[in-house]
Amino acid sequence: MSISIDLSGKVAIVTGAASGIGRASARLFAEAGATVMIADRADAVHETLEMIEAAGGKGFATQMDAGDEAAVAALIEDTCSRFGGIDIIYANAGITGGKPGGLFDSDASEWAEVLRINLIGPYLAIKYGAPKIKARGGGSIVCTASVAGLRSGAGPASYSASKAGVINLVKTAAYHLDGTNVRVNCICPGLIETGMTKPVYDYARDAGKLDKIGQLNPMKRGGEPEEIAKAALFLASDQASYVNGQALPVDGGLSASHPIAPRGNRGI
């Protein structure tokens, strides 16, 4: 039984691909043989394409807003026009938003923007992308949620609520797409070193406390974008052909427990 992942002949869209998890995923999808349409608001999305092409991969880069309905619809149509269809969408674009202080330190406009990008964005990817994937005989949509969507304590209130919405969205979408062979799942990353978490990592480095990063999970470390990309690759591939409507935590074990005081290795 082969367990290698081959995306040869597949067309994949990756949003939020200018850096971090999106960039790592786009590069990995291309390495596995997919033609990738990569999208982001930031100019650096073109640098991601240069990395892909330098490694022998194929794709196209475009700047767009993943939470804008017209822009998402155009992205889907452009991808189909350029490459003949879509097999995979990784709706990864997101923002932290809000303020660390919590529920009462932000306003409705901030919440609206976070929900627009983090939750409405994946919804639009499903709405416009699923029919195209169905037309190809089926495929996969992967969304980025977060451990913050599983329970409190991992991000600002608006961010956490938006990611909880993504988790429910993929479960709901899986049933709305029953019989289509279009699977919808999400990944719940823990603390990963990306542009979004740069302030946390910079503070830890400046304070000489980098060893404290990830101290609350059993792995005792933060994660790397490539570790999330590998999970995305699996969910995007036919190797995950019976995985549907699920939220996969990739967090070093953080979400396996309610918060407890560290107790060492328990004698091991």
How many Å apart are CA 136 and CA 118, to the nearest integer? 27
Find the catalytic residue in 159, 175, 203, 242: 159
Q: Is 159 a catalytic residue?
A: yes
How many other CB atoms sit within 10 Å of the CB of residue 195? 16
How many other CB atoms sit within 10 Å of the CB of residue 237? 20
The kind and range of the H/E element at 15 are strand 11-15
How many Å apart are CA 128 and CA 251, to the nearest integer? 30
Contact 258, 34 (CB under 8 A): no
- Give the distance between the most distant pair of CA atoms in the chain: 60
How many Å apart are CA 60 and CA 37, to the nearest integer? 5
Backbone angles phi, psi at 20, to 5 degrees: 55, -135
What is the sign, positive or negative, of the torsion defined by CA atoms of 218, 254, 234, 84? Answer: negative
User: What amino acid positions are annotated as catalytic residues?
Assistant: 159
